């Protein structure tokens, strides 16, 4: 089987296994997703989801976040880690959204990348999940690990991994592939002890980490 065909079959198997895969962060608006994604850095989606309900009840707009009391915001996001930097970035990003984008999160990659705390991963999350725009592939911890295990990329740098994924996965699957790989990484294909015996990709996997 050619490498191209094998990767196609991996994508098909992921689609069959995780047909309802979606972003694990809870949100109702693009702004909420942006804030939640900033908070998720070096944290877990599950933890962020315990913090954001109270946060989103108190701050309902970009202007509200921009004008928030720094100490109070720090306290509310403290448990997500690196809280001072995160709250600073959220306030600064929301100030730009309020003044330059009329309070609306921009749906453009270049504009998103000008916001404090926003790199390609966060921008891709917002564009793909909130706006259904496939401008790239989200490379989180799971995607980074599984892209190597499954043969999508040999790179370690997230932007290089993203470029490889964009070449090897059809554009109409760029958004879904990240969600599916994240689900798979949280399920059988864990970092330390992958459960290859129950993995639907076992016959297609050529990883040195494969357990038999």
The SS3 assignment for 6 reads helix
Which residues does the annotation mark as catalytic? 121, 140
The number of helix segments (H) and strand segments (E) in the chain equals 11, 0
Q: Quick check: 126 and 34 in contact, CB under 8 A?
A: yes
Question: d(Cα 62, Cα 171) in Å, to the nearest integer?
Answer: 31
Give the closest residue to 87 by CA, choosing from 70, 109, 107.
70
How far is residue 38's CA from residue 59's CA, in Å, rounded to a whole number?
15
Contact 178, 128 (CB under 8 A): yes
Contacts of 133 (CB under 8 A, 6+ apart): 107, 127
Q: Are 80 and 43 in contact (CB under 8 A)?
A: yes
DSSP 114: T
């Amino acid at each position: 089987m050619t490498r191209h065909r094998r990767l196609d079959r991996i994508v098909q198997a992921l689609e069959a296994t995780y047909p309802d895969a979606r972003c694990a962060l809870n949100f109702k608006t693009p702004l909420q997703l942006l804030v939640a994604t900033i908070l998720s850095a070096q944290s877990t989606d599950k933890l962020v989801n315990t913090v954001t309900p109270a946060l989103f009840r108190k701050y309902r707009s970009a202007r509200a976040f921009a004008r928030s009391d720094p100490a109070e915001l720090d306290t509310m996001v403290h448990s997500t880690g690196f809280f001072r930097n995160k709250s600073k970035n959220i306030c600064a990003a929301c100030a730009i959204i309020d003044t330059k984008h009329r309070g609306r999160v921009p749906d453009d990659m270049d504009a998103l990348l000008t916001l404090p705390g926003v790199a390609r991963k966060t921008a891709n999350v917002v564009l793909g999940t909130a706006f259904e725009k496939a401008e790239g592939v989200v490379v989180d911890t799971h995607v980074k690990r599984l892209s190597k295990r499954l043969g999508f990329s040999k790179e370690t740098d997230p932007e290089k991994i993203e470029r490889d994924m964009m070449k090897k996965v059809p554009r109409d699957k760029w958004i879904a592939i990240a969600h599916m790989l994240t689900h798979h990484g949280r399920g059988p294909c864990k970092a330390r002890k992958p459960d290859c015996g129950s993995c639907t990709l076992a016959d297609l996997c050529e990883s040195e980490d494969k357990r038999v």
